[in-house]
Amino acid sequence: MVFSKIFPKRILVDEHGQATNIKLLSFGRPHMRALHLSWISFFIAFTGWFAIPPLMPTIKADINLTPSQISNANMTSVSATILARIIVGPLCDRYGPRRVMAGILLYGALTISMTGLVSSGPGLITIRFFIGMIGATFVPCQYWASKMFSANIIGTANALCAGWGNMGAGVSYFLIPWLYHAFALVAPPHVAWRITFVVPACLCILMAAADIFLGDDVPDAVAAVEKSCWKQQHHSGGGAHSDQGPGNNDVEKLALPQMGAKSDSVQTEDGSYDSPRLDAKMTFTTKAATGDDDSIRVAKPVTADTASATLLPSSPGHGPSAVVETLSLLKCPAVLILMLHYACSFGLELAVDNIIGELFHTHFELSQTMSGMLGSIFGLMNIFSRVCGGILADYANAHIGEGNQGRMLVHFTVLVFEGLFLIGFSLSMASLRSSIVTLVFFSYFVQAACGTCFSIVPFVNLKHRGALYGLVGAGGSVGSIAFNYVFKVYGINYSAAFRVSGYVVLGAAMFTWLLKIQGGMLHQLVSQRLNP
């Protein structure tokens, strides 16, 4: 069943034009192209965001950094994302994810390229602050997926986009040292490490252009592409329209809700970003115009049996300002709990991304290159770990309990295992081999917890999803500062730092029992199972 949801023969859409499955090997418009552009953009952003830590031994020696300056730079790097994510959330509601994503990447290209100008500890701290804002790409990444995919598959789509994007940190640890060594063949070391950062900066520019010119904000692009195709056929003298379209055997007559909107985002009367509610009229879609051989069919309407709610487009309207609306979400206990949980999953992941290379270099006395390769394991686990969390959450939602109770059960379980393996990692550091093995399991559960967390987030508030994603995402950044501070306090005593972090995660997991999403709570599911 899970396999058929990810590798189907065709994309199925609900009555709102959102896909109810994922054709992973497709790059067809609009759903799959948006998904792939989303995760690749976040991946490139992550690669640039964490390009500095893999070269920290070289940078430290070149500009005479102190351990305190390195720790402060690590904390500064993630502190910048707190405000950035809160601001970017409402911007996605207003302007759409595509433009916001491209804008952040262009900004990131500028700041990353300036890393080569750093010549002191304060300079490094400053540049890492400005680079850290690129972490806000997480918000349009998740928002984009929620626009394109229906409630029954949103956990998987969100986890896939964010998880594969997070791999950028792992790739940085693997790729950046090799780029440095390549440049060091033709330039002195103090010049080679500075040139290295030009590569991720250029990648950010290329990805921003791809987002602008290749992507679509909302599913309405299907109708626009179809309309353009029929116009071209009519102007070419093809005559009246037939079921298959004159002179084009690739056009297939398929039922699809009438979208009748431009491929770009739609502007409402107040100038805010929105997409129209779709009616039930029937139209056609074309395979030829999309550049992909996918056929898109209408699925059955999403009901309470398949999802907790339909993820309709948000509509800011003429209400309070974006800032007021965003801050008003903090009155919801579920938002605060999920911010805490994301702090203990993604926040912890960011903190470990900052120190994992230094841990292998300092604790096990490995070379910079070998430390980077082993450190890359942590980030590269995202290729399947976070996705597994989303898939498990969606599966549990469909087969265990009602509403989001199944998702909450999986989320609680994964958080508990994350805490236990954190403590296990702290106990395994006497041996390099046992540390690597335990690191793999810890990586899996901390990243899966990110996936299960954001399988729940979209259902907390359906109206202001951008603001909600920004707040919970900012919670991850706050958590990263907290855990970075723990590692700073304990210094090279990494074992104690990981053990304390494990206790914090186990404590935070207990708050899952207080979560109330659309009237459902975890204890209700347990009571039903114990007393059928």
pLDDT value of position 418: 96
Quote the CA–CA distance of 53 and 66 in Å, as a whole number: 14
**Strand, helix or coil at 410?**
helix
Chain position carrying tokens 């938002």: 335
* Mean pLDDT along residues 424-432: 89
Quote the CA–CA distance of 211 and 207 in Å, as a whole number: 6
CA dist 228 → 113, 222, 233 (Å): 40, 10, 9
pLDDT value of position 262: 37
Enumerate residues 6+ apart whose C-beta is below 8 A from 507: none
Confidence of residue 341 (pLDDT cuts 50, 70, 90): very high
pLDDT value of position 251: 25
The secondary element (H helix, E strand) that includes residue 297 is strand 296-298
For residue 212, pLDDT over 80 is answered with yes
pLDDT value of position 284: 34
For residue 365, pLDDT over 60 is answered with yes
pLDDT value of position 302: 42
Tell me the HSE value of 496 on the side-chain side, using a 13 A CA sphere: 9
Task: Identify the weakest region by mean pLDDT among 311-315, 396-400, 525-529.
Answer: 311-315
For residue 303, pLDDT over 60 is answered with no
For residue 47, pLDDT over 90 is answered with yes
Query: Most confidently modeled of 210-224, 321-335, 430-444, 494-508?
Result: 494-508
Backbone angles phi, psi at 257, to 5 degrees: -60, 140
Quote the CA–CA distance of 446 and 436 in Å, as a whole number: 15
For residue 221, pLDDT over 90 is answered with no
Chain position carrying tokens 């203990």: 344
Confidence of residue 232 (pLDDT cuts 50, 70, 90): low
Task: Identify the weakest region by mean pLDDT among 61-65, 173-177, 269-273, 511-515.
Answer: 269-273
Query: Most confidently modeled of 139-143, 160-164, 205-209, 455-459?
Result: 205-209
- Measured over all CA atoms, what is the biggest interatomic distance in the chain, rounded to whole angstroms? 77
Dihedral sign, Cα of residue 362, residue 368, residue 371, residue 375: positive
pLDDT value of position 235: 53
**Strand, helix or coil at 426?**
helix
pLDDT value of position 308: 40
Confidence of residue 465 (pLDDT cuts 50, 70, 90): confident
Greater model confidence, 288 or 93: 93
Quote the CA–CA distance of 387 and 396 in Å, as a whole number: 14
* Mean pLDDT along residues 389-397: 89
pLDDT value of position 14: 86
* Mean pLDDT along residues 17-23: 90
Q: Are 478 and 341 in contact (CB under 8 A)?
A: no
Instruction: Indicate the residue type of 294.
Output: D
Structure tokens belonging to residue 473? 């995402």
pLDDT value of position 345: 95
Could you give the domains of the chain?
2-217+325-527 (1.20.1250.20)
pLDDT value of position 1: 55
Backbone angles phi, psi at 12, to 5 degrees: -105, 140
pLDDT value of position 276: 35
Greater model confidence, 230 or 74: 74
* Mean pLDDT along residues 152-156: 88
Greater model confidence, 264 or 201: 201
For residue 154, pLDDT over 90 is answered with no
Enumerate residues 6+ apart whose C-beta is below 8 A from 523: 513
End-to-end CA distance of the chain: 26
* Mean pLDDT along residues 387-401: 86
Q: Pseudo-torsion of CA 342, 344, 347, 350, nearest 10°?
A: -130
Greater model confidence, 107 or 283: 107
Query: 181: exposed, middle or buried (C-beta count within 10 Å: 0-12, 13-18, 19+)?
Result: middle
Task: Identify the weakest region by mean pLDDT among 200-204, 316-320, 499-503.
Answer: 316-320
**Strand, helix or coil at 125?**
helix
pLDDT digits (tens, 9 = 90+) for 73-119: 988 888 888 889 888 988 888 889 999 999 999 999 999 999 999 99
Neighbours of 277 (CB within 10 A): 10
Structure tokens belonging to residue 128? 């890492």
pLDDT value of position 322: 63
For residue 397, pLDDT over 50 is answered with yes
Greater model confidence, 268 or 465: 465
Quote the CA–CA distance of 346 and 313 in Å, as a whole number: 26
Residue-wise over 152-163: b if at least 16 C-beta within 10 A, else e? bbbbbbbbbbbb
Helices 465-490 and 138-148, axial angle in degrees (round to 10) = 140
Confidence of residue 275 (pLDDT cuts 50, 70, 90): very low
pLDDT value of position 316: 45
pLDDT value of position 243: 35
pLDDT mean across residues, the chain:
80
DSSP H helical ranges for 96-247: 97-113, 121-132, 138-148, 154-184, 189-196, 198-214, 221-235
* Mean pLDDT along residues 498-513: 96
* Mean pLDDT along residues 158-163: 90
Q: Are 234 and 275 in contact (CB under 8 A)?
A: no
pLDDT value of position 517: 87
Query: Which DSSP state fits 506?
Result: H
pTM for the model: 0.75
For residue 386, pLDDT over 60 is answered with yes
Q: Are 283 and 226 in contact (CB under 8 A)?
A: yes
* Mean pLDDT along residues 446-450: 94
Quote the CA–CA distance of 163 and 72 in Å, as a whole number: 27
pLDDT value of position 500: 95
pLDDT digits (tens, 9 = 90+) for 348-359: 998 998 888 888
The secondary element (H helix, E strand) that includes residue 91 is helix 67-95
